[in-house]
Amino acid sequence: MVVAFQGELGAYSEAAAQRFAPDASLLPCPSFEDVFRAVEAGTATFGVLPIENSIGGTIHRNYDLLLEHALQIVGDLELRVVHSLIALPGTAIDQIKTIYSHPQALAQCDRYLRSLPGVEVVATYDTAGSAKLIKDRQLAGAAAIASERAAAVFELKVLESGIQDFADNITRFLVVAPAAGGPRATPTNKTTVVFTLANEAGALFRALSVFALRGIDLTKLESRPWFSGSDTTRARAASARTRRGARARGRTSGRRAPPTGRRKRGTPTSARESAATRAWSGRGRAARIRSAP
């Protein structure tokens, strides 16, 4: 059995893959898209993908990729995430001028980062990849937010551990496999339903009443914007399939985007998404945010 995950060795997705299948061979992939491709091509038996975090919120890209690829959710698991600040041996915290990590990790450590005025925060593709970057380039005065496992893999020093904003920092991962005849990861006691609705008053209420009248509890409702004419929109419009193995939920894409393609003014943004936005924009923090080259 081969399990694909996004990131370098030492990534939290690697820990989730090991939790899911302790004896499996693991396949690191550069991107979420590569995880889907590896499973579709048969290079990997399963793919393990983060889908939501108790602090940073939803990983929307993976929801969209589920619609774009013919894979089925066959299981899920939760992993407690403990972030550490790691750097080259001999580095002290007061010497740190730049901190690298994935945007989700930056969002989850927002309060800690704001306590370090003047430190530049750089968004990268992966937490463990940030550790690898520091090791490969021998970046003095730089640190990464990553796991202690990443520190061990890349021979870095843990400067401080448990720096996430909340101790109860949980990420939920989905396990995906081929849609037809693929292996099952867990008992089929959860369901994901994907559907689209017309942009009219009461459409969502009527759709959700189907669940309420039958005593079905929805644990999550996720709405994604409708961009007219896109491949993803067409996939959503054609999709009425049920994926077994994930948490029961309804999702609607009934809102149409304005002609400019931008989000409508006044659309509410959750507190979790606000944290993620701050990690990109640096609002309310002395540190400046930029993307890694």
pLDDT (tens, 9 = 90+) of the chain, 293 residues, equals 999 999 999 999 999 999 999 999 999 999 999 999 999 999 999 999 999 998 888 898 998 899 899 899 988 999 999 999 999 999 999 999 999 999 989 999 999 999 998 899 999 989 999 999 999 999 999 999 999 999 999 999 999 999 999 988 999 999 999 976 555 656 667 788 888 888 899 999 999 999 999 998 888 888 877 665 555 544 444 443 334 333 333 343 333 334 444 434 343 434 443 333 333 333 333 334 444 55
Tens digit of pLDDT for each residue in 249-271? 334 333 333 444 443 434 343 44
Identify the active-site residue in 171, 196, 233, 252: 171
Domain annotation covers residue 269? no
Q: Report the pLDDT value the prediction gives residue 187, as an integer from 0 to 100.
A: 65
Identify the active-site residue in 20, 32, 36, 173: 173
Domain annotation covers residue 268? no
Is 126 in the same domain as 234?
A: no
Q: Report the pLDDT value the prediction gives residue 57, as an integer from 0 to 100.
A: 86
Q: Report the pLDDT value the prediction gives residue 274, as an integer from 0 to 100.
A: 39
Is 20 in the same domain as 140?
A: no
* Tally of domains within the chain: 2
Is 33 in the same domain as 100?
A: no
Tens digit of pLDDT for each residue in 121-137? 999 989 999 999 999 99
- Do 242 and 192 meet the contact criterion of CB atoms below 8 Å apart? yes
Is 26 in the same domain as 147?
A: no
Is 98 in the same domain as 233?
A: no
Is 148 in the same domain as 180?
A: no
Is 162 in the same domain as 287?
A: yes
Q: Is 155 left (phi over 0), alpha (psi -120 to 50) or beta?
A: left
Is 148 in the same domain as 185?
A: no
Is 245 in the same domain as 107?
A: no
Q: Report the pLDDT value the prediction gives residue 293, as an integer from 0 to 100.
A: 52
Domain annotation covers residue 130? yes
Domain annotation covers residue 119? yes
Domain annotation covers residue 106? yes
Domain annotation covers residue 212? yes
Is 160 in the same domain as 175?
A: no
For this structure, is 173 an active site residue? yes
For the chain, the first-to-last Cα distance in angstroms comes to: 35
Q: Report the pLDDT value the prediction gives residue 183, as an integer from 0 to 100.
A: 58
Domain residues for the domain of 106 are 84-166+283-291
Q: Report the pLDDT value the prediction gives residue 193, as an integer from 0 to 100.
A: 83
Q: Is 138 left (phi over 0), alpha (psi -120 to 50) or beta?
A: left
Q: Report the pLDDT value the prediction gives residue 255, as an integer from 0 to 100.
A: 37
Domain annotation covers residue 247? yes
Residue 287: CATH number of its domain: 3.40.190.10
Residues facing residue 6 across a β-bridge: 29
Q: Report the pLDDT value the prediction gives residue 77, as an integer from 0 to 100.
A: 92
Domain annotation covers residue 126? yes
Spatial CB neighbours of 63, under 8 Å, sequence gap ≥ 6: 51, 222, 224, 251
Is 57 in the same domain as 194?
A: yes
Is 246 in the same domain as 174?
A: yes
For this structure, is 171 an active site residue? yes
Is the whole-model pTM more than 0.75?
Answer: no
